[in-house]
Amino acid sequence: MVVKCATLYVGTAHADAFIAATKINQACSRQESGVIAFDFFHHQSNPEQYLLYEVYNTQEAVVAHTETDHYKTWISTVRDWFVKPVDRALYDVID
């Protein structure tokens, strides 16, 4: 199992559109066979900060996700709204 956390910073002028686009990506991502969880959070005190918490059954599923049409549509829609670089981290489960 692989956990991916992506912290995203989006200008407040684009917040509503970002949330709408990300909810579509989330719904589609949850249908992927390799996705165990795909959750979307908004920071309590920083209106520009969001978190995607993604759990995949394999590293290959992580890569496959980035090759889907819904991911490509999402990233091409939202990438210009980021006000800081995306902070991504991958984690392995400790048994």
What would the pLDDT profile of 32-88 be if each residue is shown by its tens digit? 999 999 999 999 999 999 999 999 999 999 999 999 999 999 999 999 999 999 999
pTM score, whole prediction: 0.94
Stretch 3-31: mean pLDDT: 98
**Chain CA centroid to CA 89, Å:** 11
Tell me how far CA of residue 40 lies from CA of 32, 45, 94, 95, in angstroms.
Answer: 16, 16, 23, 26
Is the pLDDT reported for residue 95 higher than 90?
A: no
